[in-house]
């Protein structure tokens, strides 16, 4: 687990950089408890990834900063790295799949990072290409989720939730590689809070369910989902030991359920990307039954305009 001191240091380090995002009450009816949305789509980069990226880069040695950093990302982590690198004056290279959302690719470029496209979809091609920069140019790798400092940064989401709403009894969290989930698990464990952490995964990429059944992270042979930020095919080796000790249950949501959640959130005045909508989808589709005060973590809101119009028109 990431210690409480580590989490608190990450939290203080985010002052003036990341937002203390609000908890927005959702207009659910007939629930056994109030549901609030942790609005990470309101971060400066439109996603929670700013927390882990900033924490990891801020904690780099002076030598590592001089050499620069490289990462692989389907989008939001790349935005976080680009944002943090620009603030700190660090060279950043972001390797992305060709299928990454255009708004995310252009966002990384506008923030001044070098974008390298490798592989048609999210997969090992990006990691291989990023590793070449470590080998050939001595850049420091900053993984999108499998790194203690990244996890600590993401864990500040959990600290904020517990501080903002001490009555909360369940937190629903999207699962990609597990950085956000592991961070929130660490916050819950470190504070001793009586809160159930529920993971929500796309049904088409059941990486956490598979890992739990196998007893260890397992690389899926393939899969697809509308949630482009959750396409990682395995839970991380660093995030897994933290997750398995704390997560109470896993809910799976289909693409149709994710799409319905995007539309429902839009009617509530919230523009959320599919990856950020999975937790709301779990409640709308009764994949998770609310039994008390509940938070659904919205991980981000970065989605191409045309794609978003298509989603809400359905």
Q: Which residue has the tokens 């298509």?
A: 310
The 10 Å Cβ neighbour count of residue 314 is 9
- Proportion of the chain above pLDDT 70, given as a percent: 100
Contact 168, 293 (CB under 8 A): yes
pLDDT band, residue 314 (cuts 50/70/90): low
4-47+147-313 shares its CATH topology with 50-141 = yes
Q: What does the pLDDT look like over 124-178, one tens digit per residue?
A: 899 999 999 999 999 999 999 999 999 999 999 999 999 999 999 999 999 999 9
End-to-end Cα spacing for the chain: 42
Query: Catalytic one among 225, 234, 277, 299?
Result: 299
Is the pLDDT at 18 greater than 80? The verdict is yes
Pick the CATH number of 50-141 from 3.90.550.10, 1.10.260.40, 1.25.40.10, 3.40.50.1100: 3.40.50.1100
Query: Catalytic one among 49, 104, 207, 244?
Result: 49
49 is catalytic: yes
> pTM of the prediction?
0.96
| Strand stretches in the chain, DSSP E | 23-25, 35-39, 69-72, 92-96, 114-117, 140-141, 170-174, 196-202, 247-253, 294-298
Question: Measuring CA to CA, how many Å separate 123 from each of 27, 186, 247?
Answer: 37, 27, 26
Instruction: State residue 25 phi and psi, 5-degree precision.
Output: -70, 130
Question: Under 8 Å CB-to-CB from 289, ≥6 apart: which residues?
Answer: 32
User: Which of these, 181, 299, 154, 174, lies nearest to 239 by C-alpha position?
Assistant: 181
- Proportion of the chain above pLDDT 90, given as a percent: 94
Cα distance between residue 303 and residue 267, in whole Å: 17
299 is catalytic: yes
> Is CATH 3.40.50.1100 what the domain over 4-47+147-313 is classified as, yes or no?
yes
Question: Under 8 Å CB-to-CB from 243, ≥6 apart: which residues?
Answer: 178, 181, 182, 185, 199, 208, 235
Q: What does the pLDDT look like over 40-79, one tens digit per residue?
A: 999 999 999 999 999 999 999 999 999 999 999 988 999 9
Q: Where are the domains of the chain?
A: 4-47+147-313, 50-141
């Amino acid at each position: 687990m990431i210690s409480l001191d580590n989490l608190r240091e990450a939290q203080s380090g985010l002052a003036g950089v990341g937002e203390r995002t609000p908890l927005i009450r959702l207009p659910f009816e007939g629930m056994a408890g109030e549901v609030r949305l942790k609005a990470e789509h309101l971060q400066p980069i439109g996603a929670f990834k700013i927390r882990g990226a900033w924490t990891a880069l801020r904690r780099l040695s002076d030598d590592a900063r001089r050499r620069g950093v490289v990462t692989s990302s389907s989008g939001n982590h790349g935005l976080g790295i680009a944002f943090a690198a620009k603030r700190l004056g660090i060279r950043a290279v972001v390797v992305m799949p060709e299928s990454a959302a255009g708004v995310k690719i252009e966002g990384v470029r506008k923030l001044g990072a070098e974008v390298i496209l490798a592989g048609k979809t999210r997969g090992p091609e990006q990691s291989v290409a990023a590793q070449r920069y470590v080998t050939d140019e001595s850049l420091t790798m900053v993984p999108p989720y499998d790194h203690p400092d990244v996890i600590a940064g993401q864990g500040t989401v959990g600290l904020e939730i517990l501080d903002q709403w001490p009555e909360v009894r369940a937190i629903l969290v999207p699962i990609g590689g597990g950085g956000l989930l592991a961070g929130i698990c660490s916050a819950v464990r470190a504070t001793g809070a009586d809160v159930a952490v529920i993971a929500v995964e796309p049904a088409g990429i059941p990486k956490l369910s598979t890992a739990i059944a196998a007893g260890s992270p397992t690389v899926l042979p393939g899969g697809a989902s509308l949630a482009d930020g959750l396409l990682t095919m395995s839970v991380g080796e660093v995030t897994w030991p933290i997750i398995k000790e704390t997560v109470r249950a896993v809910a799976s949501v289909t693409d149709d359920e994710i799409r319905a959640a995007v539309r429902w959130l839009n009617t509530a005045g919230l523009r959320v990307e599919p990856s950020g909508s999975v937790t709301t989808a779990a409640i709308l589709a009764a994949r998770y039954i609310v039994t008390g005060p509940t938070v659904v973590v919205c991980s981000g809101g970065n989605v191409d305009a045309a794609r978003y119009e298509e989603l809400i028109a359905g």
